[in-house]
Amino acid sequence: MEYRKLWIGLGLVMAIGFAVLGGVGYHVLQNAPPIPSEVVTTEGKVLFSGSTILDGQNAWQSVGGQEVGTVWGHGAYVAPDWSADWLHRESVFILNRWAQAEGAVNYDALSPEKQGGLQSRLQATMRRNSYDPATGRITVDPVRAEAFEELATHYADVFSNGRNDYAIPRGALTDPSKLRSMSTFFWWTSWAASTNRPGSEVSYTQNWPHEVLVGNRPTGGTVVWSVISFVMLLAGIGSMVWYFAAQERLPLGQSIPERDPLLGFDPTPSQKATVKYFFVVAALWVVQVGLGALTAHYGVEGSGFYGIPLDRWLPYAVVRTWHLQLGIFWIATSWLATGLYIVPAVSGAEPKGQRLGVNILFVAVVAVVVGSLAGEWAGIEHKLGNLDSFWFGIQGYEYVDLGRFWQILLFGGLCFWLWLMWRGLKPALARRDEGHSLLLLFLVSSIAIPLFYAAGLMYGSRSNLLTAEYWRWWVVHLWVEGFFEVFATVVIAFLFTRLKLLEIRSATRAVLFSTAIFLSGGIIGTFHHLYFAGTPDVVLALGAVFSALEVVPLALIGFQAWENIRLVRDRDKARWVTAYKWPVYFFVSVSFWNFVGAGLFGFLINPPIALYYSQGLNLTPVHAHTALFGVYGMLGLGLMLFCLRALRPGMAWKSKPVALAFWTINIGLALMVLISLLPIGLMQLWASVEYGTWYARSSEFMHHGPMNTLRWLRMVGDTIFAFGALVLGWFVLGLITGHSFDRTGRVEEGRWEVTAAKPSSGD
């Protein structure tokens, strides 16, 4: 009853949000760029069929898909954006052919007046929508057919003979029919990017990419909705400040107990069984960091590692796929293990067989991780024989690369995890005590985790690219960035209330309120990933407004960070709290990177006009690294350390390794971004605005002197970051061997009992 208004508000936010997301999504998918039955010339010659386009999409997926360059701006950043690259090359080919017909050597040799005339002719040719819904045919001029044949030969050479500048190895794809099919897919994505939507003067992709030759420039809606998003951001921040200022705030720490509430705590069998999850988390994280450094190096050297031809065994597409997938795996494993650890603590009892269930789930998780990674390598290396690469190898879509078979197994594992959570929480839910609302939100967020991962099963191997993109972002945005964050917020609240550092009542109100505020922008804000993915302008409007609201709560994230710091700084009242200092400091770093990565760097590319020029450039990984790892990665590490700390509360840790790891990880991440990724992204942004998206992604621009220097500078931050990862991994391993425990002292009876030296304030 006390939280009724908050629950009603949260319910309305979710109901309205998903009604809009689903309703508009249905409209979007019904009006996706059409895949024709045939593409024919005005002379009646069949150039290729629609089934060939889908075959080409599958061929593109089999070599890595979005892990090798980008399409419509989504994917990896070393190779070109194939849509923008094809569009520019086709445009130049046509202009040169027309110029030669007028007796000139090429288009550049013409006078400015004649160039302007040919460019106007090109725009009329490329932007005219010749798709006939009655026959399903697209009709093109013969010169476009010539251009297709020329470019098909070029791209076949790129993927069969390899390109060092693109980190594409020799033999990436050699089947002539698949190479030609892949070119038809690139042609179709370029056609959608330059052809006006019926009844409009704007292309299917809202005139993205920026390409002056065909008249692709920002639309009026792109500019107007960007301005409105700025206004909504300021209005939201002002309202949030007003709300916070009106709240009565009690002094922190006044009810902190004098001794650790977990002293004397005897972990249940299932809680002890979660320990191995955290060791796997640490191992996977260290491997992911190493793969990240290798991925960055491929951007410089292209084909190897300091002269070693590593791409013969681990091509760039495999390394980047593993880097992203391991990031999802270890973060999710940390959060799932924390949930399993929390259940007996809040219920006060453990169901029969819970430990067995936790162990079975662990085996399933390891099987999915190992199996999917092996399948991705085998798929990209064409080792699967007659097996379908989409099912057992790689889907080719960023963050959901794992084959559909492994994806289904993972979904089944998440459902089994939910069942373990439910059976453990039932006794506590039946009590309906003071923490019932917090527990109920915990259950709701747990249900959402397998539910929203299931969105990744809503498209097939031959679905329209927009269909796959729409549901993929349900997984990436709503599953990873949405309900996992809600789940983690509730878990942290439980941990702090378990230590009696927060009151259940205030924690419940704060979690319900923050969840409602976050989801009010976060659900519909999913559309900001789809501005230029073949969607109509309604997506641009909704995405701009509601994704701006996502940033609003981050403007006041410092309050949460400062409260967490104060919880562990009051050494005089409760010295035992310092034993949890470094897990809590990881939560503090989550707040910092939430503001910087998701807030500042997120909004840097979030308004439509900003993303129009920066989509597919290195400003995106600036946001991705600081938001995905800075927020969710740090949160996963913090939860891991907190649970490992709480399992043995009476044993003192050697805090210096954790402190060293904490600072080197954060400093390394900051340097990685500030002295490498951000300058590269800003230089690319300038090139995109000045010349076009194709040029900002071209090898000519990406491999000239200053850009190569900036890429090499990333080694500074990467090395510091990797050192911190190794230190933390060694520390976690030491919790097994015992070398991470401080044998000179232990935490007991609310104070440090030390036989050798008293810990300093920095320990």
Residues paired with 668 in a beta bridge: none
Instruction: Note whether 567 and 497 are within 8 A (CB).
Output: no
Q: How confident is the model at residue 763 (pLDDT cuts 50, 70, 90)?
A: very low
Contacts (Cβ under 8 Å, ≥6 apart) of 257: 500, 574, 750
pLDDT at 485: 75
Q: How confident is the model at residue 567 (pLDDT cuts 50, 70, 90)?
A: low
Q: What is the mean pLDDT of residues 671-700?
A: 96
Instruction: Note whether 13 and 520 are within 8 A (CB).
Output: yes
Residue with tokens 């990880």: 665
pLDDT by residue (tens digit) across 421-437?
999 999 888 887 777 88
Q: What is the mean pLDDT of residues 668-674?
A: 97
With 0-12 / 13-18 / 19 or more C-beta atoms within 10 angstroms meaning exposed / middle / buried, residue 526 is buried
pLDDT at 386: 63
Q: What is the mean pLDDT of residues 634-645?
A: 90
pLDDT at 388: 86
Contacts (Cβ under 8 Å, ≥6 apart) of 596: 626, 630
Between residues 250 and 228, the one the model is more confident about = 228
d(CA 675, CA 680): 9
d(CA 345, CA 214): 63
Q: How confident is the model at residue 749 (pLDDT cuts 50, 70, 90)?
A: very low
Q: What is the mean pLDDT of residues 694-712?
A: 92
Q: How confident is the model at residue 573 (pLDDT cuts 50, 70, 90)?
A: low
pLDDT at 745: 54
DSSP string spanning 69-109? SEETTEE-SSS-BHHHHHHHHHHHHHHHHHHHHTT-SSGGG
pLDDT-wise least confident of 233-237, 317-321, 410-414, 561-565:
561-565
Tokens of 157: 């050479």
pLDDT at 562: 67
CA 276 to centroid of chain Cα atoms? 26
pLDDT by residue (tens digit) across 294-320?
999 898 888 877 778 888 899 999 999
Quick one: what percent of the chain has pLDDT higher than 90?
A: 68
Q: Judge whether residue 86 has pLDDT over 90.
A: yes
Tokens of 351: 């169901």
d(CA 83, CA 74): 10
Between residues 684 and 254, the one the model is more confident about = 684
pLDDT at 151: 98
pLDDT at 529: 95
Q: What is the mean pLDDT of residues 471-481?
A: 89
Q: Judge whether residue 746 has pLDDT over 70.
A: no
pLDDT at 309: 83
Strands 74-75 and 70-71: antiparallel
With 0-12 / 13-18 / 19 or more C-beta atoms within 10 angstroms meaning exposed / middle / buried, residue 517 is buried
d(CA 415, CA 220): 45
Q: How confident is the model at residue 385 (pLDDT cuts 50, 70, 90)?
A: confident
Q: What is the mean pLDDT of residues 428-450?
A: 86
pLDDT at 652: 83
Q: How confident is the model at residue 450 (pLDDT cuts 50, 70, 90)?
A: very high
- The SS3 call for residue 49 is strand
Between residues 502 and 51, the one the model is more confident about = 51
Q: What is the mean pLDDT of residues 642-661?
A: 86
- The SS3 call for residue 740 is coil
Q: What is the mean pLDDT of residues 173-180?
A: 96
pLDDT at 488: 77
Between residues 188 and 255, the one the model is more confident about = 188
Task: Tell which phi-psi region holds residue 377, choosing left (phi > 0), alpha (psi between -120 and 50) or beta.
Answer: alpha
Quick one: what percent of the chain has pLDDT higher than 70?
A: 91
Q: Judge whether residue 681 has pLDDT over 80.
A: yes
Contacts (Cβ under 8 Å, ≥6 apart) of 38: 46, 47, 48, 49, 50, 136, 137, 138
Q: Judge whether residue 13 has pLDDT over 50.
A: yes
pLDDT at 238: 85
pLDDT at 256: 65
d(CA 439, CA 441): 5
Q: Judge whether residue 458 has pLDDT over 60.
A: yes
Residue with tokens 């399409």: 71
pLDDT at 260: 65
CA atoms within 13 A on the CB side of 123: 16
Supply the pTM of this predicted model: 0.93
pLDDT at 429: 87
Closest CA relative to residue 622, chosen from 670, 687, 558 = 670
CA distances from 565 to 591, 659, 752 (A): 11, 15, 20
pLDDT at 258: 66
Strands 741-748 and 751-754: antiparallel
Q: How confident is the model at residue 756 (pLDDT cuts 50, 70, 90)?
A: very low
Query: Cβ–Cβ contacts within 10 Å for residue 307, how many?
Result: 8
d(CA 758, CA 763): 10
Q: How confident is the model at residue 4 (pLDDT cuts 50, 70, 90)?
A: confident
pLDDT-wise least confident of 4-18, 106-120, 428-442:
428-442
pLDDT by residue (tens digit) across 503-534?
788 788 888 888 888 888 889 999 999 999 99
Q: How confident is the model at residue 762 (pLDDT cuts 50, 70, 90)?
A: very low
DSSP string spanning 466-496? HHHHHHHHIIIIIIIIIIHHHHHHHHHHHHH
